[in-house]
Amino acid sequence: MEISTKQILKILYVLSWIIFVGVCVEAGGFIFNTFFTLVINPVDAKHFWPGIDFSSLYRYDPGHFFAQTLLMIIVAVMRSLIFYLIVKVLHDKKLNMAQPFNNEAGLFIFRLSYLSLATGLFSWWGVKYAGWLTTKGVPMPDIQHMRLAGADVWLFMGVTLFVIAQIFKRGVEIQTENELMI
Amino acid sequence: MPIIVNLDVMMAKRKMSLNELSEKVDLTLANLSILKTGKAKAIRFSTLESICKALDCQPGDLLEYANK
């Protein structure tokens, strides 16, 4: 049985929705728990998220706790945005296989590249910040649990997508020229 | 673009409508309209040949260079 592009896109659409909901829950959870810990009950820092115990960090300095969680929130929100863009493009059916080089698709790749680059930079910053806090004697959770791992991959993806976006931009120009050739 | 398409002028001289030309040169009205309004980025020699044949004119009658 031959699997067509349409079927693959449909499967990717479902998968993207599932991942989108997951990353949104994560981002929302980080935001809520940060607010809850800082404003309502500081004990919540111990059970910040599965695998994350920020009680030592909170005891060390609530300001550093806020900065570290803010970096985690930024990364989580950007990941949600990436998947929102993917879900939106697949939902609106803006990927026209007959004429693939259109402005919407070009803009989509550009946005993905910027978001990936930003996610990579903030992840890298978060990891460095956690490392610095460790040198100050604050026991920090694993970066894998803080969802900050993979900064290099995000940066690599961002740069690759940026190059593809530039090529795509030229493709859009060529297609437009071709359409206007009588 | 400094290349001006004088298709409308030649059509007026030959008293030919866009529909009539479209049938003679086997081009869609949309494409002829793009050509007529100067939105076209390029024109095939074969298209130019068929338009010249239909309007009984030279390529120079249809295209003009104006340095603006």
Q: What is the pLDDT of residues A160-171, one digit of tens each?
A: 999 999 999 999
Residues of chain A with Cβ-Cβ distance to B27 below 8 Å are 182
- Nearest residue, CB atoms, A180 vs list B27, B39, B44: B39
Cα–Cα distance, A128 to A8 (Å, whole number): 38
CB pairs under 8 A between A and B: 23
CA distances from B3 to B41, B57, B67 (A): 10, 18, 9
Q: Which residues of A are less than 8 Å from B34 in CB distance? A: 180, 182
Task: Provide residues of A within 8 Å CB-CB of chain B.
Answer: 176-177, 180-182
Q: Judge: A182–B47 Cβ closer than 8 Å, yes or no.
A: yes
Rounded distance, CA A147 to CA A54, Å? Answer: 14
Burial bucket for residue B48 (CB in 10 Å: 0-12, 13-18, 19+) = middle
Rounded to a whole number, what is the distance in Å from the CA of B29 to chain A's nearest CA? 11
Tell me the mean pLDDT in the region B10-22: 90
Could you tell me what percent of chain A has a pLDDT over 70?
98
Residue of chain A whose Cα is closest to the Cα of B25: A182
Structure tokens at B13: 């001289």
Nearest-10 Cα torsion for A124, A130, A135, A141: -130
Cα distance between residue B24 and residue A87, in whole Å:
48
Q: Is the ipTM of this complex over 0.90?
A: no
The whole-angstrom distance between A95's CA and the closest CA on chain B is: 25
A176 CB neighbours in chain B (<8 A) are: 41
Q: DSSP assignment, residue A40?
A: I
pLDDT digits (tens, 9 = 90+) for A22-69: 999 999 999 999 999 999 888 888 888 888 888 899 999 999 999 999
